[in-house]
A and B are shown apart, each in its own frame.
Chain A
């Protein structure tokens, strides 16, 4: 009995390593925990996509729970998620604020005319400086922000209905109850 036990040790070690590797297969290396969860969104002062003269500041966004969606016309996944964003905005469950990242203004405007505009406010970050303050490393990225401007969740990658209904919606309703 003792001998069988000893011979099964390599098998046991193999099983542990295999379990870790198998778990690793399912992990997404793009999901990097954001240090900004629980912190306020950064200060900024930027024009909108629609109008270079209209300046938006951080405080202009306060007062409502909203999704902050980082997008660009050069980003293919943004096009993939756009329909979902339009559906979400029509459902009226949450406001979506856009952060247009390192893009051309006329291209962004054409995109919104063509595919629909889900954004209540669309911030134009041509240089990508505010995106750096938000720790953005790819598009699309979506943040859940409460009425006081505190970030509660970050998703890197396209928004999906499943993600919204299962993860974001419960958080949004919770935040709305808290005021």
Chain B
């Protein structure tokens, strides 16, 4: 049990360890620091693939962080840096993929599935409410009454 909690503590403290590795990047202008952090948060590390450039300790991620840091120090803006990365590593490097024909499925797929689901749900609900509202004709009502009476009689006999 103790091992479990120690492990849990270690896992929970991991993100802060990662954040600490970014302390080496200092900016005179605080907004520039925020931009830097935002850029490396939304870039994928190509080595680990499920980590951002900010979170990864892979050597390539360190090199790319340094490269982006140098570019920002030279006064390049966010768009220029994203263009730099995409021209080398492709859209894959972005966690936020741009809207274009090859990514339509990613952007609109969930919406289409949602619409199909809504239509199906709507139709089922409509059919159900329609069945409930169906009124019996006089003849049917008579038959129903007979049946109900019959089943009551049966129960009485059984008891």
| Residues of the B chain whose Cβ atoms lie less than 8 Å from the Cβ of A133 | 88
Sample 25 A-B pairs with CB under 8 A, ordered by A number: A29-B49, A32-B46, A32-B89, A32-B90, A33-B90, A33-B92, A34-B90, A35-B86, A35-B89, A35-B90, A35-B91, A36-B88, A102-B59, A128-B60, A129-B67, A132-B63, A132-B64, A132-B67, A132-B88, A134-B88, A135-B89, A137-B46, A137-B47, A138-B47, A138-B60
Most buried by B among A29, A128, A132: A132
Give the number of A-B contacts (CB < 8 Å): 35
Q: Which of A32, A35, A137 has the most CB of B within 10 A?
A: A137
Interface string of A127-168 (1 = CB under 8 A from B): 011001111011000000000000000000000000000000
What are the 4 tightest A-B residue pairs by CB atom distance, in nearest-first order?
A137-B46, A135-B88, A35-B90, A32-B92
| Interface size, chain A (Cβ < 8 Å) | 15
B31 within 8 A of A: no
A35 touches B87 (CB 8 A): yes
Measured as residues with beta carbon below 8 angstroms from the partner, the interface class of chain B is 10 to 19
CB distance from B70 to the nearest CB of A (A): 10
B55-90 CB contacts (< 8 Å) to partner A: 59-60, 63-64, 67, 86-90
Contact B90 A137, beta carbon cutoff 8 Å: no
For B89, the chain A residues whose CB sits under 8 A away are: 32, 35, 135, 137
Which residues in window 102-136 of A have CB below 8 A to B?
102, 128-129, 132-135
CB distance from A23 to the nearest CB of B (A): 14
Q: Across the interface, name the chain A residue whose C-beta is closest to B120.
A: A9
* Shortest distance from the beta carbon of A97 to any chain B beta carbon, whole Å: 19
* A137-B86 contact, Cβ under 8 Å, with A29-B49, A32-B46: no
- Please tell me if the beta carbons of A135 and B63 are within 8 angstroms of each other in the complex: no
**Complex Cα gap A128–B47 (Å):** 15
CA distance A102 to B60 in the complex (A): 10
A40 to B: closest C-beta gap in Å = 12
B1-60 contacts to A (CB < 8 Å): 46-47, 49, 59-60
User: What is the distance, in angstroms, from B85's C-beta to the closest C-beta of chain A?
Assistant: 9
In angstroms, Cα B135 to Cα A128, docked, is 80
Task: Output the least CB separation between A138 and chain B (Å).
Answer: 6
